[in-house]
Structure formats: C-alpha cells, structure tokens
Amino acid sequence: MQSNTSDSPTVLVVDDDPKIRRLVAAHMSQQGFSVELAATGEEALEKAPLHQPAAVVLDISMPGIGGFEALERLREWYTDPVIILSATDQEREKVRALDLGADDYVTKPFGTEELAARLRAAIRRAERLSAPDNQSDPVVDATDFKIDLAARLVYKDDEEVRLTRTEFDLLRTLAVDAGKVLTHRHLLQEVWGPEYGAETEYLRTFVKQLRRKLENDPSRPRRILTEPGVGYRLFLE
C-alpha cells in the first residue's frame, strides 16, 4: 500500500456515471474508506499519483480513455489493487481485464457490501506485500540502544534489556516523538492516563530507572535529557 496506512484507506472510484459515483462513494465511506472520485480515465490517471490510493475501483465503459486503457496505463507504475466494475458479464472481458493486471472484476448491479468486502480483501493482501516482515519490525535506533515498538522489546549493545510495563510505555512515548521536548503533563497523560498531569514524582522515578538501564553513564544522561521546568526529551544522535 502506498498511502496512509494508519487511518482509513483511500479508494479512488472511477466511473462516468454520476449516479454510480455517488452510490459507491456514499457506501464506501460509510464502510470506513476515504473516497476520491474521478469521472473519466484521464482524470483517474491524474488523480491516482496525486492521492496514492490504497485501491482503485475502475469502470470499464467510459468515453475517452476507457477502463482497459486506464488499467494498462495505471499498471505501468501502480501496484496496489485495481477492482474492475463492469456492466457486462462477458467472460472475454473478465479474462482480458484480469490478465491485464486487474485484481478483481465485479459486475453491475453489485452489492455494496460485497464491493466493500472485496476491497477489504484486496487491501489486506496488498498490505502484507508492502510490509515485507522478514522478522524485523520498524525499530527506533538510538545508537546506544534500539527499541522494537511492535515487539515491545529494547536492546542495549545488542543485548535485551528487561523493562517493566510503565518503563516501556514511558520510553515509547518519548521515542515516537524523539527529539522533541515532551511536557510533564503530556508524558503523564500518555502513560498513566488522561486524569494525570501533576505527578512529576512518577516521572522522576521512572526516568531514573530508564537511565539506569539504558544510559552508558546514568549520572550523565546523553539520551534521556531533562528540560528543567518543562519535561523530558529523547535524543537520538
């Protein structure tokens, strides 16, 4: 997937019929997708690189650049799923579209739930592809130590460090905004909950623990820095 993996995936819907566009747009956004629209093949080829959608829903019969040509041109660079929408049920067309690189082929009239499910399935597959999880997850690297956020593990000099729950939560909060100064209030609310904010003693205690376990010279911290009167920040080289 090429776009925002975190929030709702964007789907580019291409159809010359305004009714279909509205119908699909309404149902797909209701099903949790962000929707972009295009009325022609030309517009689709313009908007696709712009929005980097997680999938494209493409009508076959359109004036100008038709669905087949749009599909071919898209596939020159676009590797995420393309689902063909078509009014005809002809096997020839299906075979042609699929062999041109389409991921799926849905015939009008279609169920919106089904289309959504097929989109989910296609995007799910594409996500696995773009995340080549050969064992290693995204790792925050602080030279002295490394944090594997997905595995919830921390290494210092390639040796695993045992952190308690709160210690890790605090370190993670510092790490996701590494370099920035995070206020006492922000850290407390993030780790202990929204009803906290004034308990700076907690921070002192756990920052000390983290330094003891992670700093080369805990009495002279170089990674977890104090910003007097404000908060702390994690310094990555």
Partner DNA sequence: GGGCGCTCTCACGGATTCGTCACGCTCATG
Partner DNA sequence: CATGAGCGTGACGAATCCGTGAGAGCGCCC
User: Under the rule (CB under 7 A), what is the footprint of DNA?
Assistant: 162, 164-167, 184, 192, 199-202, 204-208, 211, 218-219, 221, 226-231
- Asked whether position 143 contacts a copy of itself by CB under 8 A, the answer is no
Bridge partners, 146 (sequence order): 141, 155
- When the beta carbons of 46 and 117 are compared against a copy of itself, the nearer one is 117
Q: Which of 5, 30, 88, 164 binds a copy of itself (CB under 8 A)?
A: 164
- Asked whether position 194 contacts a copy of itself by CB under 8 A, the answer is no
- When the beta carbons of 28 and 39 are compared against a copy of itself, the nearer one is 28
CB atoms within 10 A of CB 82: 27
Question: Of 65, 53, 39, which is closest to residue 11 (Cα–Cα)?
Answer: 53
Find which of a copy of itself, DNA, none residue 113 binds, CB within 5 to 8 Å per kind: a copy of itself
Find which of DNA, a copy of itself, none residue 19 binds, CB within 5 to 8 Å per kind: none
- When the beta carbons of 3 and 209 are compared against DNA, the nearer one is 209
* Nearest distance in Å: CB 80, a copy of itself: 11
Find which of a copy of itself, DNA, none residue 170 binds, CB within 5 to 8 Å per kind: none
Pair of tokens at residue 117: 């499910």
Bridge partners, 11 (sequence order): 35, 55
Distance (Å, rounded) from C-alpha 118 to C-alpha 184?
46
Pair of tokens at residue 18: 């305004």
Find which of a copy of itself, DNA, none residue 219 binds, CB within 5 to 8 Å per kind: DNA
- Residue position matching structure tokens 């080549």: 132
Distance (Å, rounded) from C-alpha 231 to C-alpha 187?
8
10-14/34-38 β-pairing: parallel
Report the Cα 84 to chain-centroid distance in Å: 24
E strand spans, the chain:
10-14, 34-38, 55-59, 82-86, 104-107, 139-141, 145-148, 153-156, 159-161, 181-183, 224-227, 231-234
Q: Sheet holding 139-141: strands in order across? A: 139-141, 145-148, 153-156, 159-161
Q: Which stretch binds a copy of itself (CB under 8 A): 39-47, 66-74, 185-193, 227-235?
A: 227-235
Distance (Å, rounded) from C-alpha 183 to C-alpha 189?
10
Q: Which residues, 105 to 124, sit near a copy of itself by CB under 8 A?
A: 105, 111, 113-114, 116-118, 120-121
- Asked whether position 91 contacts a copy of itself by CB under 8 A, the answer is yes
* Nearest distance in Å: CB 63, a copy of itself: 26
- Asked whether position 88 contacts a copy of itself by CB under 8 A, the answer is no
Helix (H) or strand (E) holding 49: helix 41-51
Q: Which residues bind a copy of itself (CB under 8 A)?
A: 79, 91, 94-95, 98-99, 101-105, 111, 113-114, 116-118, 120-121, 125, 128-129, 133-135, 137, 150-153, 164-165, 168, 179-181, 227-230, 233
